[in-house]
Amino acid sequence: MNGIIEYENYRRYMQDFYLARRGRSCFSWREFSKAAGYASPVFLKLVCEEKANLSEAGVERVAEAMGLAGKDREYFRMLVRFNQEKNPKKKKQFWAELRELAAGFQVKLVGEHQYDYYQSWKNSALRELVPALPEASAAELASCLISKTSASEVKKAIELLANLGFLTKNPEGKWVQSDHSISTGNFEIAPLAVRDMHRQMAELAVAAVDEVPRDERDISGLTLGVTEDAFHKISGEIAEFRRRVVAIATEDAGLDRVYRLNLQLFPLTRKVKKLNGGEENA
């Protein structure tokens, strides 16, 4: 099995450890749990199935049972904290500490670049802008963004986009998009970074209400009462709408400007009786 440093989920590491031991001998969950000091013969099986968590003392006992020591044990300890933490701010802190530990092994964590991509709205904007202005310098690209940006920031963003494979150079040596759309993938850390980018984009949308002429933006909203069934139907319509928007954008080869489309459907109240709806435009 792979070393602990190659895992982003401690439960999967424990599962793989168990399967590897069982493949060599008659190793059971009872033996594994007993070696870690648990009276329940299936406790660690429940942990691997995400039906139970490890306490701080349990982390040390399980690490000992798996033969983890030194930096491997330190990484396992931090990985447990990261996986089990529910608070987004603390989870990001644990992620930063995991990255630091991994750097000591000279290893890049799975999803590390993706996390960096979603840390700033400028990365997604430049992914669209750079191919559209193939002759532009980093300083010229920076001047196109609505927020103050330096040429060095642009260069760093382009390097990240290239490392991720989001931008590649064609035979003429010009940057082009590898794909029209991208996905966050299955990395546990991605949603934390995506949440940050959504927050940044929402702040830009607020600023656009006052700073962007009305004929250059489209900002509207609905306040309406719905049932849970209607909510799921509306969510499906929004998903289909997003697909149609992407299709329209990709069918048109030109680019005059980079836009951001925010779609937000969220509750303003707890569950109450049906309300009437009304539309507002800004």
Residues of the chain with confidence (pLDDT) below 50: 185-186
pLDDT of res. 43: 96
| Nearest CA-CA partner of 184 in 198, 200, 172 | 198
- Which segments of the chain belong to CATH 1.10.260? 4-105
Instruction: Give the type of residue at 119.
Output: Q
List, as one string, the DSSP characters of 178-202: S-S----TT-TTHHHHHHHHHHHHH
pLDDT of res. 111: 64
For residues 219 and 215, what is the distance between their CA atoms, to the nearest angstrom?
A: 10
pLDDT in tens, 122-173: 999 999 999 999 899 999 999 999 889 999 999 999 999 998 888 999 999 8
pLDDT of res. 186: 46
Angle between helices 88-104 and 70-84 (to 10 degrees): 160
Topology of domain 4-105 in CATH is: 434 Repressor (Amino-terminal Domain) (1.10.260)
pLDDT of res. 150: 95
- pTM to 2 decimal places: 0.64
Per the DSSP assignment, residues forming a β-bridge with 279 are 222
Cβ 61 vs Cβ 36: under 8 Å: yes
pLDDT in tens, 23-37: 888 899 999 999 999
Cβ 279 vs Cβ 220: under 8 Å: yes
Q: Which H or E element spans position 177?
A: strand 175-177
Phi and psi, residue 221, nearest 5°: -155, 160
